[in-house]
Amino acid sequence: MSFIAIKHMTKVKVALAGIGNCASALIQGTLKYSDPASDSVGLLSYSLGGITPADIEFVAGFDVDSRKVGKDLSEAIFSGMNNTPKFHDVPKMGVSVKKGPVLDGIGKYLKEVIPISDQPEADLVRELKDSGAEMLVNYLPVGSTNAVHAYAEAALKADVAFVNAMPVFVASDTNWSKRFEERGLPVAGDDVMSQIGATVLHKTLIKLLHDRGAKVEETYQLNIGGDTDFLNMLEESRLADKRESKTSAVRAMTPYPVPTRIGPSDYVGFLKNDKVCYIWIKGRYFGNTPVTIEAKLHVVDAPDSGGVMIDAIRGTKVALDRGVSGQLVSLSSYCFKHPPLQLPYEEAKRRFLEFIEGERER
């Protein structure tokens, strides 16, 4: 059974938790693609459910860095330790970044480089309501479990959807997703999967071997980068969910267990927002003949997920307009590493587009 798609007529009002490199790329990209004359490289479609990038409006932002709090969002995205390249001018947005709760959001390595604002902590629920936000996009650092839960609670109380771009499990956690469903709100996530990132490449290679009848025996993925995300992930105790997110996405591509090791490997400051990934796969094919695949991927990290998040935001707005609540299964499977349901990439894309066109979630 299918629904008639609802024609989109109003702005998509978005609040951001964490004004780091990913928020910078998202805002820059949204403005860049707001020009109908621009190409739509990096987007699933220029118009998705009748919504274009020009329809997205950022209405609130939260951070704890004293170099960002109190600044206009257009300035904050280029402040502090942010080091993703500037690829589009961002005019004044009339949105002042508020101080969010610190809790466990700043780990031991980030404490050395991020000065905490002495401004009063904002009332998240009130700010979300006053801004008119329809959804809250979470970009907090890896390992910020308590802080993420605080923002998720605020989203529930403020009646806004929650889009979780990092690996503290909310959308894929049945207790959290049930609460959003009971509140009549959609929730999407967890842990955004870049357009051409390490996880999607690794998944594709593993599935290729399995689909061609080869046996995958062992595999690893190592990543290095020079932004605060990699600096933060030097703290091993903050990595459990990140490793689980990436590993489960790859392991889901075979029906049998494969010894797998995945995770951030080191922080190399001069790489800035560049990310370098090494993938190694060992297997066997006909006649037990050995095969080894080694791949290296070099990307600028933040823009690699910007288009995916524009698609996730628009898909979440479609769900809001339709009154769909709880886990957005197809959207999450397409856009995130640790969704409620792991699917091969092409199937996830097909189901997501079917959902946009009006099909029920399956």
The domain ranges of the chain are 12-193+303-357, 198-301
Burial (CB count <10 Å: 0-12, 13-18, 19+), residue 143: buried
Q: Nearest 10 degrees: CA dihedral of 271, 206, 219, 225?
A: 10
Write down the pLDDT at residue 359.
Answer: 83
Write down the pLDDT at residue 2.
Answer: 40
Compute the distance between CA of residue 71 and CA of residue 106 in angstroms, rounded to an integer. Answer: 20
Please tell me the CATH superfamily of domain 198-301, with its number. Answer: Dihydrodipicolinate Reductase; domain 2 (3.30.360.10)
118 cis-preceded (ω within 30 degrees of 0): no
Burial (CB count <10 Å: 0-12, 13-18, 19+), residue 298: exposed
Write down the pLDDT at residue 8.
Answer: 53
**318-345: b (≥16 Cβ within 10 Å) or e:** bbbbbebbbbbbbbbbbbbbbbbebbbb
Q: Return all residues near 176 (Cβ < 8 A) that are at least 6 apart.
A: 152, 169, 170, 187
Annotate 60-92 with three-state secondary structure: EEEECECCCCCCEHHHHCCCCCCCCCCCCCCCC
Q: Which amino acid is at 328?
A: L
Give the strand pairing for 274-285 and 289-300: antiparallel
H helices then E strands: how many in the chain?
A: 11, 11
Place of tokens 């927002």: 273
Could you please state the CATH topology (level 3) that the domain comprising 12-193+303-357 is classified under.
Answer: Rossmann fold (3.40.50)
Compute the distance between CA of residue 142 and CA of residue 161 in angstroms, rounded to an integer. Answer: 21
Q: Return all residues near 249 (Cβ < 8 A) that are at least 6 apart.
A: 193, 199, 202, 203, 337, 338, 342
Write down the pLDDT at residue 264.
Answer: 77
| DSSP for residue 6 | P
Whether the Cβ atoms of residue 259 and residue 212 lie closer than 8 Å to each other: no
Task: Per-residue pLDDT tens, the chain, 362 aa: give them.
Answer: 344 444 555 799 999 999 999 999 999 999 999 988 777 788 999 999 999 999 999 999 999 999 999 999 999 999 999 999 999 999 999 999 999 999 999 999 999 999 999 999 999 999 999 999 999 999 999 999 999 999 999 999 999 999 999 999 999 999 999 999 999 999 999 999 999 999 999 999 999 999 999 999 999 999 999 999 999 999 988 988 888 999 999 999 999 999 999 987 899 999 999 999 999 999 999 999 999 999 999 999 999 999 999 999 999 999 999 999 999 999 999 999 999 999 888 899 999 999 999 888 76
Q: What is the pTM of this model?
A: 0.93
Write down the pLDDT at residue 41.
Answer: 87
CB-CB neighbours of 155 under 10 Å? 28
The torsion angles phi and psi of 30, rounded to 5 degrees, stand at -60, -45
Whether the Cβ atoms of residue 257 and residue 298 lie closer than 8 Å to each other: no
Q: Do the domains 198-301 and 12-193+303-357 match in fold?
A: no
Q: Give the tokens for residue 108.
A: 């031991």
User: Helices 21-32 and 301-322 meet at what angle, rounded to 10?
Assistant: 70
Output helix, strand, coil percentages for the chain, rounded to the nearest 5: 35, 25, 40
